[in-house]
Structure 1
Amino acid sequence: MNKLQKSLIALLAVCLLFFGFVVVRIGVAKPASAVKVAAIPAGEMDPAVWGKYYPLQYASYQKTAEGAPSPTGYGGSVLVQKSQMQPEMLTLFKGMPFSKDYAEDRGHIHAMEDLRETKRIGPASKGACITCKTPYVEQAYKEHGWDYANKPLTEMMDKAKFSVACSTCHDPATMNLRVINPAFIEAQAARGIDVTKASREDMRSFVCAQCHSEYYFEPGTTKVVFPWDKGLKPAEMYAYYSETPRGFVQDWQHPDSQAAMLKAQHPDYELFSTGNHGTAGVSCADCHMPYTRKDGQKYTSHWVTSPLKTLDDSCTPCHNQGTAWLQERVKTIQDQTFELQHMAGQNIVKAHQAIQAAAAQPGADQAGLAKARELVRKAQFYWDLLAAENSMGFHNPSQALNTLGQANELAHQAIEAANTAAGIKMF
């Protein structure tokens, strides 16, 4: 055996010993991603206490305090009025609080602060407004049932010390995902879904859906209700509202058209659940709270933000086209959605004005005016389902464009009906 052969054998032996040691270590060691469950007292709402045991998750949660524009120019977490990009909103929401203050949503950590500061609340505001802003809603419901919703908002805000945080979505004893919004639990039960028996993957969307969904307040009680009895699509929710559920007629009456209007509230889950990602089994958390690593430990990011800020972690596990291509696709979808949304909103403004002008004409046909008001009500609700939603159409591009297309057409029909009611002939 020559010297070279002896050297190769020695090198091989060293390699075998090294890689053998690595294999043994991998086989017997706990995975770096393992997180020990801490015994956090029931009812603990302070995220800083949870952060002592889950520092990586807490540090990422604290990033929700950051304010930054969206990479595509839509949404973002900067406290700016939406009417800056869509001035038609000032007319569309005329006569109700959203015309005074309709700012972009900031991160979860700001939820209670923004509620206290918004110009949309006043002395008559009810406790129902805390439902999606704080984990205190769990305690409020245990103590008062749905009566908490009709208590003065100031009283409830004084007791709600913390914004959306760990205990909103996690059982403190087990860390299992949970939902605490009684309105969501009741809405799902009405659809035959027991949230306590939901799979972990379903819960990774349910914890978001308990707040990022459309709702209304039951007249008299201010109880929060989700309009899902007929389904989650725009036509199904509008059909539900058309039956005057629980005596609910309107959110407000528009002062120009006198139409009984509906105000949509961030229907992110409804749009997402019927889109490509939702129907393919992708959860909200997969994209908005992706798995990430630090110092070899795998954990779920609690920086709930646009996936465009975390493209490598959020998107590339499934998509291999590259981050530049992914961002361009999102931007294209959002540009197209915004263009149609902006157009539809402007035409709905014209519809309100046409109805107002028609109603001022002596002898205007009242049945025709009623038809026009119903058309503008439906047009604006369809428009608002996208305007109030946070993805600018990306959660379900085909449905977004279809819904906005219908809103645009309904606005034109409302204008035509108003002119007909006033005896104005259109050529």
Structure 2
Amino acid sequence: MNKSQKSMIALLGVLLVFFGFVITRIGIAKPASTVKIAKIPAGEYDPAVWGKFYPLQYESYKKNSIMEPSPTGYGGSLKVQKSDMMPEIKTNFKGNPFSVDYTEDRGHVYALEDIKETKRIGPKSPGACITCKTPYLEKLVQETGWGYAKLPFSQVMDTIPSHGYISCANCHDPENMNLRVINPAFIEAMDRKGVDVTKASREDMRSYVCGQCHAEYFFEPNTSRVVFPWDKGSKPSDIYAYYLDKPLGFVQDWQHPDSKAAMLKAQHPDFETWSTGTHGKAGVACADCHMPYERKDGQKYSSHTMTSPLKNLDAACGTCHTQGSAWLMDQVKTTQDYTFEVLHTAGQNVTRAHEAIKKASEIPNVNQDELANARELVRKAQWYWDFVAAESSMGFHNPDQSLNSAAQASEFARQAIEAANRAAGINLL
């Protein structure tokens, strides 16, 4: 055996020892990314208790208490009035509590605090208003069914402890951490669409857990049961057509004191807007962008800081979009700027329509048929405007639809003004 052969044998021996050590370590070591599942007792809704078993998720969840502006200037988690940016809100929602208090949404940890403090809640507010504010909803439904919805809000609120804001149990089964939906309104709406939520895939559930609250709804008259209006579809036109049928006897959210139109108030239709947008149709889940994966100490986990993807562009967007953070930020900002410009104009046109109808109604012998037509048109115009204005992404969840809806709102407002002019027999505006 020559010297070269001896060297080769020695090298192979060293490599054999090294890889044998590595293989042994892999075989006996627990993978760092494995999360041990803890069985948390059913009915445990305190996120701090869950956090003892899932510290990484809990530490990121606590960051939902951070209040800061949006990187693009739209949305954010500062408690500011939306009417500061869109003054037309005060006129368009005249006669409705949203004209008095319409603040930007803060993080989930403020859900109970904010609903206690808002001026939109009063002595006549029903218990249904708590539906999307707490995991204690599960307990309320178990004990009363939809009965809690008709109880006075203050009475229901008194049963919720201070830790009962939106948290882990809203979305996770405590026994096995599987994703779940506890809002019966969402379950019922999906069932009417032929979807059994209990059989949904994990990927679908990564959006359903968000959609159970980030959605449009109304209260059924007499019972205050929460209803999601998706029976005809989830686009603005679909939902408006659904409301035209006066479902379950529901006619209006309020009557505008100037135009006397029977108005609708859109409630953060994020799930509907996302589902018909590019990301939704491509199978990108809400959690992909708003709860991106992170790593710490070798463990992979979903961030539970449910916030704007713009605050973590590389993790939230970079896995699919490789153009760089500056390009991504510009894309979002441009989309939102264009949407806001068209939306703001539409809102002002809706205001003008309410004014024209009011003036027309004060004229003797006004044409009542044309006046009724004008009221229907301003109701429709405001619905299309509000569907975009009340949604959380300033158009980004579905840019094409949002721009189209805002443009249609302006057109319907123009038609409402023309109808008011015809009713009065003169040009009012």
Would you call these one fold, judging by a TM-score over 0.5? yes
What residue in structure 2 maps to residue 410 of structure 1? Answer: 412
CA distance in 1 between counterparts of 2:166 and 2:21 reads 46
Q: Which runs of 5+ in 1 are unaligned?
A: none
Residue 299 of structure 1 aligns to a residue whose secondary structure is strand
How far is the alpha carbon of 1:31 from its aligned partner? 2.3
What residue in structure 1 maps to residue 264 of structure 2? Answer: 262
What residue in structure 1 maps to residue 138 of structure 2? Answer: 138
What letter matches 1:150 in structure 2? K
What residue in structure 2 maps to residue 111 of structure 1? Answer: 111
CA distance in 2 between counterparts of 1:300 and 1:321 reads 23
Q: What per-residue deviation string (whole Å, max 9, x for no partner) do you get for residues 247-298 of structure 1?
A: 1110000011110000000000000011111111111111111111111110
Residue 191 of structure 2 aligns to a residue whose secondary structure is helix
Instruction: Tell me: CA distance 1:426–1:131, structure 2 relative to 1, closer, same or farther (3 Å).
Output: closer
CA distance in 1 between counterparts of 2:262 and 2:338 reads 30
What residue in structure 2 maps to residue 37 of structure 1? Answer: 37
Does residue 66 (structure 1) correspond to residue 51 (structure 2)? The answer is no
CA distance in 1 between counterparts of 2:185 and 2:11 reads 67
Does residue 95 (structure 1) correspond to residue 124 (structure 2)? The answer is no
Residue 292 of structure 1 aligns to a residue whose secondary structure is strand
Give the share of equivalent positions with the same residue, in percent: 68
How far is the alpha carbon of 1:3 from its aligned partner? 9.3
2:196 to 185, 190, 194: 194
Matches within 5 A, 1:375-386: 375-386=377-388
Aligned residues: 427
Q: What per-residue deviation string (whole Å, max 9, x for no partner) do you get for residues 225-256 of structure 1?
A: 00011111111100000011111110000011
How far is the alpha carbon of 1:310 from its aligned partner? 1.4
CA distance in 1 between counterparts of 2:142 and 2:330 reads 47
Matches within 5 A, 1:369-380: 369-380=371-382
CA distance in 2 between counterparts of 1:16 and 1:208 reads 51
What residue in structure 2 maps to residue 241 of structure 1? Answer: 243
How far is the alpha carbon of 1:4 from its aligned partner? 10
The answer to whether the 8 A contact 2:129-2:153 is kept is yes
How far is the alpha carbon of 1:363 from its aligned partner? 1.4
What letter matches 1:254 in structure 2? H
The answer to whether the 8 A contact 2:47-2:167 is kept is yes
Residue 208 of structure 2 aligns to a residue whose secondary structure is helix
Matches within 5 A, 1:169-318: 169-318=171-320
What residue in structure 2 maps to residue 157 of structure 1? Answer: 157
CA distance in 1 between counterparts of 2:352 and 2:4 reads 89
The answer to whether the 8 A contact 2:359-2:428 is kept is no
CA distance in 2 between counterparts of 1:48 and 1:7 reads 60
CA distance in 2 between counterparts of 1:10 and 1:309 reads 53
Residue 301 of structure 2 aligns to a residue whose secondary structure is strand
What residue in structure 2 maps to residue 356 of structure 1? Answer: 358
CA distance in 2 between counterparts of 1:35 and 1:258 reads 58
Residue 190 of structure 2 aligns to a residue whose secondary structure is helix
TM-score by length of 1: 0.96
Q: What per-residue deviation string (whole Å, max 9, x for no partner) do you get for residues 335-362 of structure 1?
A: 1111111110001000000111111111
CA distance in 2 between counterparts of 1:7 and 1:308 reads 56
Instruction: Tell me: CA distance 1:419–1:8, structure 2 relative to 1, closer, same or farther (3 Å).
Output: farther
What residue in structure 2 maps to residue 365 of structure 1? Answer: 367
What letter matches 1:130 in structure 2? I
Q: What per-residue deviation string (whole Å, max 9, x for no partner) do you get for residues 126-171 of structure 1?
A: 1000000001111111111111000010111111221000001111
RMSD of equivalent CA atoms: 1.9
How far is the alpha carbon of 1:312 from its aligned partner? 1.5
How far is the alpha carbon of 1:327 from its aligned partner? 1.0
TM-score by length of 2: 0.96
The answer to whether the 8 A contact 2:134-2:170 is kept is yes
The answer to whether the 8 A contact 2:171-2:180 is kept is yes
What letter matches 2:360 in structure 1? A
CA distance in 1 between counterparts of 2:368 and 2:27 reads 79
Q: What per-residue deviation string (whole Å, max 9, x for no partner) do you get for residues 329-387 of structure 1?
A: 11111111111111100010000001111111111111001001000001101111111
What letter matches 2:376 in structure 1? E
CA distance in 1 between counterparts of 2:153 and 2:66 reads 27
What residue in structure 1 maps to residue 424 of structure 2? Answer: 422
The answer to whether the 8 A contact 2:360-2:428 is kept is no
What letter matches 2:417 in structure 1? I
Residue 258 of structure 1 aligns to a residue whose secondary structure is coil
What letter matches 1:240 in structure 2? Y
CA distance in 2 between counterparts of 1:419 and 1:249 reads 26
What letter matches 1:175 in structure 2? M
Does residue 127 (structure 1) correspond to residue 109 (structure 2)? The answer is no
Instruction: Tell me: CA distance 1:13–1:384, structure 2 relative to 1, closer, same or farther (3 Å).
Output: farther
Matches within 5 A, 1:22-33: 22-26=22-26, 29-33=29-33
What residue in structure 2 maps to residue 323 of structure 1? Answer: 325
